Chain A
Amino acid sequence: MKRVVITGLGIYSCLGKTLDEVRDSLYSGKSGIVFDQERKDMGFRSALTAKLEVPDLKSELSRSQRAFMPEQAKYAFWATRDALLQAGIDQDYLDSHDVGLIYGNDSSADPTVRAVDTIREKKDTTLCGSGAIFQSMNSTVTMNLGCIFHLKGINLTISAACASGSHSIGLGSLLIQNGLQDLIVCGGAQEVNPFSIGSFDGISAFSTRENEPTKASRPFDRDRDGLVPGGGAATVIIEEYEHAVKRGAHILAEIVGWGFSSNGDHISSPNVEGPTKSLEHAIKRAGIDIREVGYINAHATSTHIGDTNEAKAIYNVFGDQRVEVTSTKSQTGHEMWMAGASEIVYSMLMMKNGFIGANLNFENPDEDSAKLLIPAKRVEKKFDMFLSNSFGFGGTNSTLIIKDWK
Chain B
Amino acid sequence: MDKKVLIEKVNQVLAEEFETDIEKITPDANIKKTLELDSLSLVDMIALIDNEFGVKIDNTELPKIQTFQALYDYLEEKTK
Chain A interface (Cβ < 8 Å from any Cβ of B): 63-64, 67, 122, 124, 126-131
Contact = CB atoms under 8 A, between A and B. Distances in A.
Interface string B29-67: 000000000101101101100110000100100000000
A130 B50 contact: no
The 9 closest A-B pairs by CB, nearest first: A130-B40, A130-B43, A129-B47, A63-B19, A127-B47, A130-B44, A129-B44, A127-B50, A126-B46
A89 B40 CA distance: 31
Contacts of A67: 40-41, 44
12 contacts: A63-B19, A64-B40, A67-B40, A122-B50, A127-B47, A127-B50, A127-B51, A127-B56, A129-B43, A129-B47, A130-B41, A130-B43
Interface residues of B, number: 14
Main secondary structure of the interface of B (DSSP, over half): helix
A59 to B, nearest CB: 11
Contacts of B43: 126, 129-130
Given A129-B44, A130-B43, A63 B18 contact: yes
Contacts of A130: 40-41, 43-44
A64 B41 contact: yes
Most A-side CB within 10 Å, residue of B17, B38, B41, B47: B47
Contacts of B51: 127
A126 B51 CA distance: 12
A115 to B, nearest CB: 11
A126 B47 CA distance: 7
Contacts of B38: 64
Nearest to A125: B43
Contacts of A127: 46-47, 50-51, 56
A84 to B, nearest CB: 26
Given A63-B17, A122-B56, A126-B46, 14 more contacts: A63-B18, A63-B19, A64-B38, A64-B40, A64-B41, A67-B44, A124-B56, A126-B43, A126-B56, A126-B59, A127-B47, A127-B50, A129-B43, A130-B43
Contacts of B17: 63
